[in-house]
Structure 1
Amino acid sequence: MHKLVIVDDEYLVRLGIRETIDWAANGIEVIGDASNGKQGYEMIKELNPDLVITDIKMPIMNGVDLVKTLHKEGFNGEIVVLSGYKDFEYAKETFENGIFSYVVKPIDNDELLEVVLRAVAKLEQKIKDRTLTSKVQTELPTLQSEFMKKLLSSNSFVGSDIPSELSNHDISLPTNGTMALISIEEMFKSKKSELNIYINLLKEALSKEKIAFVDFDFQDSIVMFLNSNDIEKISLICRDTFIPFEQKTLTALTVGLTLYSSLEYIQKTYESCLKLVQSKLLFHLNTVEMELDDQTSYRHRQSISQFYSIIAEKYSMQLTVRSVSDEMNVSESYLMHLLKDNLGKTFNEILTGYRIGIAKRLLLSGKYRINEVSDKVGYIDVKYFSQVFKKIVGVTPSDYQGHDIG
């Protein structure tokens, strides 16, 4: 039932509107009537009706002032104004304040009912529109994330105008900057809710550094677009945020960072981030620009990809700069500069980080003793392995494996 309040200074008019029209049969309930605008205003504020029928000329507060006040305060219902022929010019002012319609006195019941029912139809449409808008606003982030995942990880948009596709889905991204892909291991999916807390901490830290971002939740990972090319600063912020998360939850987390120079390249950028994550080089960075016509940049990308493959395949062996550079057919100097200039780390830092990342997974699997894990990740000396592990993770392998952390 829609609720109706009647405001008119003539008692017989109020009585006639209330009693001579079968409101209930039309889904309407008269919940009150008032003899002047002030009394009507107070009643409307208290009862919050869907519909108001009000006269124009009334003592204390007239109908025009009542309509103006309700409009100013954001009344969401529909208002029908009653006016005599001589009051029509005066009544027209109410149209500027959002009334639905007017009925000229003396009142014809059929005409008044027809106008009120049209007001009800408009009211119901507004309710539907608000519900739809609310639903769209609620579901929009999910819909946008689904679109972004399809855009980045499928071939459906090859050759498309990416900026236009983004605009069509009401998505605004930095035109260039850094993409971050944050992924949690399959065996730790139950920690996703805790990860979200740290994602919010990351957002706060980025905001403090005045780094704007747009993020999308892909369920199994989170993708962020940041309007900064300072990939080293972003890396440090990620480390400061997520290392405590790993230590507290004993969860293996992987972050891939890649610069992009144009929105046209974000699919290639995502592939680069995904490769970093899949290779499980924890927190290691790919800073190579996605300029596909730059042959020098292309060579670096190829070399870095080859380096990753060797590390991922042979991390358990006694690798050195020389052995890896020989396999890549490059000089030791070239390899060291390639890693430092493009990944921001030394050969040993990258190798150690990768080995410890694998060790964490092996320890948490519960299938191996510490000495077995040490051997599997390339450390002959278990004591030295434990020292390196504690330096990077913050706890000993035995504490990490036994979850013995306060």
Structure 2
Amino acid sequence: MYKVIVIDDEMLVRRGIVMETDWQALNCVVVAEAGNGIEGLEAVRKYHPDLLICDIRMPKMDGIEMLKELRAEGNDVSVIFLTAYSEFSYAQSALKLLASDYLLKPFGDGELEQAVSNALEKRKRTQEKLENSKEEPLPELVLNKGDKSKYVMAAVDYISAHYGDPELCVAQIAEHLGISEGHLSHTFKRETDYTVAAYITRVRMRTAMKLLNDCRNKVYEVAEQVGYRDVAHFSSSFKRIVGVTPSEYQDRSM
């Protein structure tokens, strides 16, 4: 069964969610409750849930700050945010942190159950994708040197040596080579079918995959090593290119 934690500073709301929802029908079990984000963090670290049902506005630490910490740790738990505030900015903040859904309180009959079902179905599809994947989803980056200009190969070598620099960009590489950004961008795209930025990202993701194969490497450590200051940005880029989150990829490698 899927493990769920309910986090809300309003005890009556929290208990209502726990007691009035048919968790067994959803193939779920509530393993813990929490009254604020700090308690929520402790519960998540202790119980390793599949899903959080979490209020956004809470004392001590709100839901968004809590989720930021979890994402920074590489935790990819599914999250459904609850709030009595209808400002769209809250929804945007939640969605940027990869929340599964966003519900306004009080929610109608069946709305929470549907949101839970949708979130867990998405999680199930991700797990099935991992189990059915027999090959690494990101192909090796192979460039035939004989077909490439000296500037392109010099750029490739520079990227290989400096992908861990968060400031690495077309301008930096072009300056190093002594050519214009436009000339480098045009030539690189023509000869490799990649933009410079896309090639940098793929080199970083290829390296990250190798590092994540070692379970001793933490997601935030890998992010730093491949040139990302923001772990959430790294996780988003990794999932976009590789198809799964860094934590999911590492779990598969264990």
Alpha-carbon offset, residue 69 of structure 1: 1.1
CA 1:86–1:171 in 2, change beyond 3 Å: closer, same or farther?
A: closer
Partner residue in 2 for 1:213: none
Partner residue in 1 for 2:57: 57
Partner residue in 2 for 1:76: 76
TM-score, normalization by structure 1: 0.33
TM-score, normalization by structure 2: 0.52
Partner residue in 2 for 1:199: none
Alpha-carbon offset, residue 79 of structure 1: 0.4
Amino acid corresponding to residue 114 of structure 1 in structure 2: Q
Matching of residues 142-291 of structure 1 within 5 Å? 172=142
Question: Does the CA-based 8 Å contact 1:80-1:103 persist in structure 2?
Answer: yes
Describe the superposition over 1:138-172 as per-residue Cα deviations: whole angstroms up to 9, x where unpaired: xx9xxxxxxxxxxxxxxxxxxxxxxxxxxxx8584
Partner residue in 2 for 1:30: 30
C-alpha distance in 2, partners of 1:116/1:42?
Answer: 22
Partner residue in 1 for 2:246: none
Partner residue in 2 for 1:115: 115
Question: Does the CA-based 8 Å contact 2:78-2:119 persist in structure 1?
Answer: yes
Identity %: 33
Partner residue in 1 for 2:95: 95
Structure 1: which 5+ residue stretches go unaligned?
A: 141-168, 177-406
Partner residue in 2 for 1:136: 135
Partner residue in 1 for 2:9: 9
Q: CA RMSD in A?
A: 2.2
Question: Does the CA-based 8 Å contact 1:79-1:101 persist in structure 2?
Answer: yes
C-alpha distance in 2, partners of 1:88/1:74?
Answer: 26
C-alpha distance in 1, partners of 2:46/2:91?
Answer: 25
State the SS of the aligned residue for 2:90.
Answer: helix
Describe the superposition over 1:65-119 as per-residue Cα deviations: whole angstroms up to 9, x where unpaired: 0111112211122100001144543342121111111110013240011011000
Describe the superposition over 1:31-70 as per-residue Cα deviations: whole angstroms up to 9, x where unpaired: 1110000000110011110000100111110111011111
Alpha-carbon offset, residue 175 of structure 1: 6.7
Partner residue in 2 for 1:21: 21
Question: Does the CA-based 8 Å contact 1:78-1:123 persist in structure 2?
Answer: yes
CA 1:69–1:171 in 2, change beyond 3 Å: closer, same or farther?
A: closer
Question: Does the CA-based 8 Å contact 1:64-1:91 persist in structure 2?
Answer: no
Question: Does the CA-based 8 Å contact 2:94-2:102 persist in structure 1?
Answer: no
Which structure has the larger Rg?
A: 1
Describe the superposition over 1:188-245 as per-residue Cα deviations: whole angstroms up to 9, x where unpaired: xxxxxxxxxxxxxxxxxxxxxxxxxxxxxxxxxxxxxxxxxxxxxxxxxxxxxxxxxx
C-alpha distance in 2, partners of 1:22/1:115?
Answer: 13
Question: Does the CA-based 8 Å contact 2:86-2:104 persist in structure 1?
Answer: no
Higher relative contact order (CA 8 A, sep 6+): 2
C-alpha distance in 1, partners of 2:103/2:6?
Answer: 14
Structure 2: which 5+ residue stretches go unaligned?
A: 147-254
